[in-house]
A and B are shown apart, each in its own frame.
Chain A
Amino acid sequence: MLQILGRRTVSALTYLGEISILFAQTLSLALRPPWRGKNLLSEMVNVGLLSLPVVIITGAFTGMVLALQSYYVLHKMTLETVIGGLVNLSLAKELGPVLTALMLAGRVGAAITAQVGTMKVTEQIDALQSLAVNPVKYLVVPRFLACLILLPILTIYTVFIGMLGGYIASVKMMGINATFYLSIALERVAPHDILNGLIKALFFGMIIGIIACHKGLTARGGAEGVGRATTGSVVTSCILILIANFFITIALEIVNL
């Protein structure tokens, strides 16, 4: 029992170490030429286009539900005028970045792990190395950067579409006065709230990119192994996103952003 516990601890620490090393390598290689603009661009198109429908649906329905639930509660206290502020603030600071990240861990993270993992188990990664090309530079850097750059952008989409959804649910469905709704909604959300959400998105993008690539690079055991790595990638990213969200929230509160 103790032995098993010991091994678990060691393997958790090893995992953390491996992730840190890959992260450090990725950053240092990303800053050094040659830059593979073409690879990065094709990854960005991949990540961006794959995700737009997901992001639109997530944003729209979250915004609407948020507005409806707030309405049911606040209506009883005749406070429905603050709904706009509530909806928009939650979207900008929490739900926008977190939901976007969770959806993308499933959509993009899984796709990256499956692709890199397949390359690993079919010896394509070894072949890259035998051709004197660094797989981290060639495969990980563009995928990591694509996640890092696109997560804030997609978060803006989610937040914006969510705000639109909240507006529609409140004004068109519940009959709240439009001018009233907008005045509160826009007044309550300051630029730093948006920035707050974008900083979170940046970290979530790094988590998705690194975890997905690492799971792919360490995949073993044929198609089954790639499947296992892909599931692992989504689960690990989601958990880390939720945990990181908590700590980033505290950190941002401390530096007063």
Chain B
Amino acid sequence: MITIRNLTKSFACSTLTCDSNRVLDNLDLVVPDGQATVIIGRSGCGKSVLLKHIMGILKPDSGEILIDGHDITKLKASELNQERKRFGMLFQGAALFDSLTVGENVGFSLREHSNLSEGEIEEIVREKLELVGLGDVEDLRPAELSGGMKKRVALARAIAMDPEIVLYDEPTTGVDPITADIINSLILSLQERLKVTSLIVTHDMQSAYKIADRIAMLYKGRIIEIGSGEEIRNTANPIVRQFISGASQGPITEN
């Protein structure tokens, strides 16, 4: 279980006129084990920043992030790396290593952290690529792949070590509807077969309703509403209503 308490993060401004830009403001969130929690929110509201805090890539100004009871924001670098092996993360732009081949990308953490033989690693790489619906791409370079393929390779890399918790940053943004549906089904099947805990950031409501056990809306640095897909669909909160209906007029755009 991931418990986030009072998480606050500001970034320094590049201009001299403003002092800081508070992205997360006393945010509280609980992500239960074995469920898919979806976070929705507008572009630039801090969804990626939130995920990077959970991976320990960014450090909060204050607040804590408890993973099964211990606070990862206080860990030393080596302990943090130990903790990270339980996680897999799919980045928004795929973030494949462009100096390595697809096969080397997917097998990266296995080569770094396991004592498996080269043959065993290649076997796992092939299996993970198959799982995301790709075959025979091991020797290609990331630059030779389409956007949707990159996302799928990145997903294969994220789950190469069979993580307990998978974080997805906009898994279906910028891919065609069919690939989007493949990715949605993949998230669901990982969820069901491996009982992983998933945290998915998206602003694709169709995908959110399809995969979510619970949906949380991030707005102005906080979670303003959380509930099942049904509850979110029927919410009375005008901010959430404007977001899910995609209206240009409403409380979000008024100020």
Contacts and interface: CB of A to CB of B under 8 A. Distances in A.
A18 interface: no
B1 interface: no
B21 interface: no
Interface residues of A, number: 16
B189 to A, nearest CB: 22
A130 B57 contact: yes
Interface stretch (B35-43, B91-99, B232-240): B91-99
B2 interface: no
9 contacts: A7-B16, A118-B98, A126-B55, A127-B89, A127-B95, A128-B97, A129-B56, A130-B88, A133-B108
Nearest to A133: B112
Nearest to A7: B16
Interface stretch (B77-85, B123-131, B173-181, B212-220): B77-85
A132 B84 contact: yes
B52 interface: yes
Contact of B52 (A118, A126, A134): A126
A132 B91 contact: no
B55 A129 contact: yes
Given A122-B95, A123-B91, A134-B77, A129 B84 contact: yes
A126 B109 contact: no
A124 interface: yes
B81 A132 contact: yes
Nearest to A124: B95
A122 B154 CA distance: 13
B16 A126 contact: no
Query: Across chains A and B, which 10 residue pairs bring their CB atoms closest together, nearest first?
Result: A123-B95, A127-B95, A132-B84, A132-B81, A130-B89, A131-B109, A123-B91, A126-B57, A129-B57, A132-B85
Interface string B58-102: 000000000000000000010001101101110111011110000
A254 B217 CA distance: 66
Most buried by A among B88, B95, B108, B157: B95
A54 to B, nearest CB: 23
A130 B87 contact: yes
A124 B77 contact: no
Contacts of A123: 91-93, 95
Given A124-B97, A126-B57, A131 B84 contact: yes
B113 interface: yes
Interface string A114-145: 00001100111011111111100000000000
A130 B91 CA distance: 10
A16 interface: no
A124 B112 contact: no
A122 B99 CA distance: 13
Interface string A62-103: 000000000000000000000000000000000000000000
A5 interface: no
Nearest to B158: A130
Nearest to A118: B98
Contacts of A7: 16
Contacts of A127: 89, 91, 95-97
